[in-house]
Amino acid sequence: MGKLEGKVAVITGATSGMALATAKLFVEEGAYVFITGRRKEQLDQAVKAIGKKVTGVQADSSNLADLDRLYETVKKEKGRIDVLFASAGGGAFGPLGGITEDDFEKTFGLNVRGTLFTVQKALSLFSDGGSIIMNGSIAGVKGFPNATVYSASKAAVRSFARTWTVELKDRKIRVNTLSPGTIDTPILDAFNQEARDFFVSLIPWKRMGRPEEIATAALFLASSDSSFVTGIELFVDGGVAQI
């Protein structure tokens, strides 16, 4: 029997990379998974890659109407949520002095506003004793150039976990933040080799992480293996945030 046998999970932004690897693993461990993505073609490809026990819902996590439609689908098909991985995120990067209002609105709109309402709108369907996982980043605790807005947005996500751990304690819903370091995903295709080499130079193990290493950490936080774990930030970063 899998560690998530019979569970219903929702994973946002799961059309590629870490979240897609997590969705695949959750299904392998017995869960039925609802995934979201903004682009229908990529969403359809992800559903096909997962192969079974999955429903894809086209949605932008910064759009509250899309979130409502997501949860209406979950309610109609399964009636409850046991695990939520609020993974959708992104950000604009640039030096202080060159940050635009649009940079701020888009980054905070997705990472902060989107995460808040992804969780809040799920609560009426959430099973007592369930698990909420939010996608953080080492950028929330480290100082990287050109990451002012992105880093601040991920620090806010970490703060959510502390507050919601207290607010949801009577329902025994665990709330944790999963904070990756540099993971070898398609997002990094936008960076040149010099930038990729710089990222690797910061990692004690001198390699990037793999999406599957995030997935196994998410499985730990989703399953009863972490039954006494709540309010934490779990770094999966090869040690970058610890040194």
CA of 146: how far to CAs of 37, 61, 191, in Å? 27, 24, 14
Range(s) of the domain holding residue 39:
8-236
- H/E element, 190: none
Residues written for the chain: 243
Is 150 part of the annotated catalytic residue set? Answer: yes
CATH code, 214: 3.40.50.720
| Structure confidence at residue 11 (pLDDT) | 98
Residue 2 domain-assigned (yes or no): no
The answer to whether the beta carbons of residues 210 and 182 sit under 8 Å apart is no
For tokens 């950000």, name the residue.
Answer: 91
| Structure confidence at residue 186 (pLDDT) | 79
The answer to whether the beta carbons of residues 58 and 13 sit under 8 Å apart is no
Q: For the segment 123-139, what is each residue's pLDDT rounded down to a tens digit?
A: 999 999 999 999 999 99
Residue 16 domain-assigned (yes or no): yes
Residue 242 domain-assigned (yes or no): no
| Structure confidence at residue 192 (pLDDT) | 81
CA of 49: how far to CAs of 10, 14, 16, 21, 188, in Å? 17, 11, 10, 10, 21
Conformational region of residue 238, where left means phi above 0, alpha means psi within -120 to 50, and beta covers everything else: left
Residue 243 domain-assigned (yes or no): no
| Structure confidence at residue 179 (pLDDT) | 98
Selecting among 32, 34, 85, 150, the annotated active-site residue is: 150
Residue 134 domain-assigned (yes or no): yes
Residue 3 domain-assigned (yes or no): no
Which parts of the chain register pLDDT below 70? none
Residue 1 domain-assigned (yes or no): no
Residue 39 domain-assigned (yes or no): yes
Provide the whole-model pTM.
0.95
**Structural domains of the chain, count:** 1
Give 78's DSSP letter: T
| Structure confidence at residue 198 (pLDDT) | 85
